[in-house]
Amino acid sequence: MTEFPGLSIAAVERDTGLSKDTLRVWERRYGFPKPLRDIFGERLYSAAEVDKLRCIKRLLDQGFRPSKLIDSSTEELTKLLESPRDAVAGIRELPSELASILDLVKLHRSDALRGLLTQTLMKHGLQQFVAAIAAPLNQRIGEAWMRGEIGVTEEHLYTELLQNTLRSAINAYPIHGLRPKVLLTTLPGEEHSLGLLMAEAMLVPEGARCVSLGIQTPLSDILLAARSGEVDVVALSFSAAYPVRHAVEGLTSLRGLLPEATALWAGGEGVRGRQRSLPNTRVIEGIDDTLAALREWRTARLDN
């Protein structure tokens, strides 16, 4: 009997409904799937991997998050699928504001989306908007993209309008000149800037001075800016798409080069849960944790 040679990534995309980009991101982020390579270096997925991916896709459609499913066996996923619908813990109702924003993204209604984002921010205030609206909404947007409910165009529209909304609110705050002075950027290869802006939106209302270098800044330039600008904290953001190994290596190198008195913070899905791998870096485990890190820095400074 001929052995199953494996399916190509295009075939798996057609079979499961999971996009090629999603499969690649999961491979980097979660270590699953683990396709073999043919003689041309192309991915080949086993029958067992495809079966598990089918189950995961069905559960994603029910509202589960991939991080809660990846480590489960196909048998465990099948049992979850067979659970009564009202007993499925992954099904979550969105608050009305979040649901309305998500609907406008799907409909590509840019003017209405811009207005609703601004209105919601004014209602809740900047920090609450970031923590209670933007953070969970980012998660839902990513899940909707993975399920194929929105495309790249809609995702980019949402990101652009949210960034514009946050920048306008941040710029409306007076510059207090209080410490710490925080340098915000990403390492080379990290193209996502939304995490930086959300961190700034949490810090600025607390009087912190934030300086953003934008994205993909070489280590040498980060060091130069930190030293010449008398920076107290260097804060980096890592999305789920950024390889964890590269994040840990980059942060370890940067920590070794920065002055000891300069704190190093790292946040985002790319480093979530990695505090043990980064003992001399403050890993921000969630957007609310940004304020905890700020309080810790100020308390430590008073103690000194």
Same domain, 214 and 298: yes
Q: Does 1 fall in a domain?
A: no
Q: What is the pLDDT of residues 82-138, one digit of tens each?
A: 775 443 444 444 568 888 999 999 999 999 999 999 999 998 899 999 999 999 999
Per-residue confidence band for 140, with pLDDT thresholds at 50, 70 and 90: confident
Q: Please return the burial class of 260, using the count of CB atoms within 10 Å of its CB with bins 0-12, 13-18 and 19+.
A: exposed
Q: Quick one: 180 and 149 in the same domain?
A: no
pLDDT, residue 147, reads: 75
Give residue-wise pLDDT tens across range 146-168. 777 888 899 999 999 999 999 99
Same domain flag for 83 and 123? no
Portion of the chain with pLDDT greater than 90, in percent: 58
Q: What average pLDDT is seen over the chain? A: 88
Kindly report, residue by residue over 232-286, the tens digit of the pLDDT: 999 999 998 888 899 999 999 999 999 999 999 999 988 988 899 998 999 999 9
We report the CATH number of the domain holding residue 36 as 1.10.1660.10
19 pLDDT exceeds 90? Answer: no
Per-residue confidence (pLDDT) for residue 84, from 0 to 100: 56
pLDDT tens-place string over residues 224-234: 999 998 899 99
Lowest-confidence region among 151-160, 164-173, 175-184: 175-184
Pick from 186, 231, 182: nearest CA to 208: 182
Structure confidence at residue 9 as a pLDDT band (50, 70, 90)? very high
Q: Which of 283, 282, 135 is nearest to 201 (CA)?
A: 135
Q: Among 52, 87, 122, identify where a domain stops.
A: 87
> What domain range is 291 assigned to?
174-303
Q: Which of 136, 170, 204 is the last residue of a domain?
A: 170
Local confidence band at 303 (pLDDT 50, 70, 90 cut-offs) = low
Q: Is 197 domain-assigned?
A: yes
Of 126, 155, 170, the residue at which a domain comes to its end is: 170
In a domain, 3, yes or no: no
Which whole number is the average pLDDT over 73-86? 78
Q: How confident is the model at residue 211 (pLDDT cuts 50, 70, 90)?
A: very high
In this structure, the number of other CB atoms found within 10 A of the CB of residue 288 comes to: 14
Give SS3 for 57. Answer: helix
Answer yes or no: do 178 and 299 share one domain: yes
CATH number assigned to the domain comprising residue 104: 1.10.1240.10
Q: How many CA atoms lie within 13 A of 267 on its CB side?
A: 26
254: number of Cβ within 10 Å = 20
Structure confidence at residue 143 (pLDDT): 81
- Considering the domain architecture, whether residues 209 and 284 belong to the same structural domain is answered as yes
In angstroms, the CA 228 to CA 245 distance is 29
Q: Give the model's pLDDT for residue 94.
A: 54
State the average pLDDT over residues 62-76: 84
